[in-house]
């Protein structure tokens, strides 16, 4: 394990930013957001959740994917250059780290999404262990260890130092590149990190959602759950605002639109939401005409359809953002509990 004094973090960030784009959580107008680091930015080390997850870095909210224009009788396609690869994302929490793997299963499966692949390829993910979770956190329900998250390198803060443990070859190469800035951790330090993990786990065990379980959910539950009358009650309050999908690190639906700029057509894709009534609108209308059907789709996808196609992996990571942000307090936790997924 390596370590660095917190006072030297900006030196590390400056060294990384010389080589590649570095993104990390910073405080901005009272919120915490992921931002490309530039000199003067301070890592928001004490904040837990960014408003939007870092999924934007690999799957931006809006992106131009192609341009075309007419020349005489011909259509000319002007391909858009693929985005840069190899960014470093620092300070990713365990839930958001797992969300990258959920997205990988979608965007890196055949046919590969070349834009996503270009951004994701060679990216280095440095995770931050959680020590002060919020009441809406329930990542452990999905098998995530927030006190020792995955990633290429994992970090812990103990007193005035940050500790770095390598998890992958990429992580090893990353630490080797900046070896001059780190010092080797001592045996005592290992105990101190273990103690921080132990104390954090005590807090996690007492969270209101500590007993939430996915029991009763999974890829084989379509027939059992689809026509359950509970969906009507659960969805009655839903406004169809789409907030839950926009803050969700694993939601991956998008729309494609063409804009006439006057001298060419610009084709863009932007995030969409299965909670909207015009989502996947076809000439004959929409496949899900009621909010109950749209609401059911969102949660059945997270807890049944996605696991059915991805070896049992759920596409919720328990970040709790939808719990915090839904204006009418209806969310995935209520759905899980309504079907009995609460051990209490």
Q: Which residues bind ligand SF4 (CB under 6 A)?
A: 238-244, 247-250, 275, 302, 316-322, 326-328, 330, 332
Which of 29, 52, 11 shows the shortest CA–CA distance to 271?
A: 52
The secondary structure element, H or E, covering residue 35 is: strand 31-36
Signed CA dihedral, 324, 55, 296, 300: sign only: negative
Structure tokens at 63: 């992106």
Yes or no: say if 161 and 3 are a contact pair by the CB < 8 Å rule. Answer: yes
CB of 326 to ligand SF4, least distance (A): 3
Q: Is the CB of 161 or the CB of 250 nearer to ligand SF4?
A: 250
Q: How many angstroms separate the CA atoms of 75 and 77, rounded?
A: 7
CB of 293 to ligand SF4, least distance (A): 13
The two beta strands, 124-128 and 153-158, are: parallel
CB of 296 to ligand SF4, least distance (A): 11
Q: Is the CB of 16 or the CB of 103 nearer to ligand SF4?
A: 103
CB of 51 to ligand SF4, least distance (A): 12
Q: Is the CB of 93 or the CB of 321 nearer to ligand SF4?
A: 321
Q: Is the CB of 265 or the CB of 308 nearer to ligand SF4?
A: 308
Q: Please, what's the b/e burial string for 299-322 (b: 16 or more CB within 10 A of its CB; e: otherwise)? A: bbbbbbbbbeebeebbbbbbbbbb
Yes or no: say if 271 and 245 are a contact pair by the CB < 8 Å rule. Answer: yes
CB of 159 to ligand SF4, least distance (A): 31
CB of 85 to ligand SF4, least distance (A): 25
Beta-carbon contacts of residue 236 (< 8 Å; ≥ 6 apart): none
User: What value, to the nearest 5°, has the Cα angle with vertex 21 and ends 15 and 243?
Assistant: 135
Q: Is the CB of 70 or the CB of 230 nearer to ligand SF4?
A: 230
Q: Write phi, then psi, for 214 (nearest 5 degrees).
A: -90, 10
CB of 101 to ligand SF4, least distance (A): 12
CB of 319 to ligand SF4, least distance (A): 4
Q: Is the CB of 57 or the CB of 248 nearer to ligand SF4?
A: 248
Q: Is the CB of 23 or the CB of 302 nearer to ligand SF4?
A: 302
Q: Is the CB of 242 or the CB of 341 nearer to ligand SF4?
A: 242
Q: Per-residue DSSP letters for 127-155? A: EE--SS--TT--GGGGT--TTS--SSEEE
User: What value, to the nearest 5°, has the Cα angle with vertex 75 and ends 71 and 81?
Assistant: 105
Half-sphere exposure of 221 (CA within 13 A, CB side): 22
């Amino acid at each position: 394990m390596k370590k660095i004094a917190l006072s030297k973090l900006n030196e590390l960030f400056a060294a990384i930013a010389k080589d590649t784009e570095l993104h990390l959580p910073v405080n901005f107008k009272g919120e915490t957001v992921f931002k490309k680091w530039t000199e003067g930015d301070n890592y928001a080390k004490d904040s837990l959740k960014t408003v939007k997850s870092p999924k934007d870095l690999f799957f931006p909210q809006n992106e131009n994917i192609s341009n075309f224009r007419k020349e005489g009788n011909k259509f000319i396609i002007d391909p858009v250059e693929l985005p840069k690869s190899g960014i470093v994302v620092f300070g990713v929490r365990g839930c958001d780290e797992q969300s990258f793997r959920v997205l990988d299963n979608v965007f890196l499966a055949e046919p590969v999404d070349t834009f996503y692949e270009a951004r994701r390829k060679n990216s280095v993910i440095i995770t931050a262990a959680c020590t002060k979770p919020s009441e809406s956190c329930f990542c452990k329900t999905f098998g995530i260890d927030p006190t020792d998250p995955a990633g290429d390198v994992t970090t812990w803060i103990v007193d005035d130092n940050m500790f770095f443990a390598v998890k992958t070859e990429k992580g090893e190469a990353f630490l080797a590149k900046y070896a001059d800035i780190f010092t080797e951790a001592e045996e005592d330090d290992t105990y101190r990190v273990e103690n921080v993990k132990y104390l954090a786990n005590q807090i996690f065990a007492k969270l209101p959602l500590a007993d939430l379980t996915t029991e009763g959910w999974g890829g084989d539950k379509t027939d059992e759950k689809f026509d359950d009358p509970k969906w009507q009650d659960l969805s009655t309050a839903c406004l169809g605002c789409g907030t839950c999908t926009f803050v969700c690190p694993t939601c991956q639906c998008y729309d494609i639109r063409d804009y006439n700029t006057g001298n060419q057509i610009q084709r863009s894709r932007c995030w969409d939401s299965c909670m909207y009534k015009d989502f996947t609108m076809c000439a004959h209308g929409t496949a899900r005409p009621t909010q109950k059907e749209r609401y059911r789709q969102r949660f059945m996808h997270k807890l049944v359809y996605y696991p059915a196609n991805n070896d049992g992996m759920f596409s919720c990571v328990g970040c709790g953002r939808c719990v915090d942000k839904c204006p009418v307090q209806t969310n995935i936790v209520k759905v899980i509990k309504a079907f009995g997924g609460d051990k209490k």
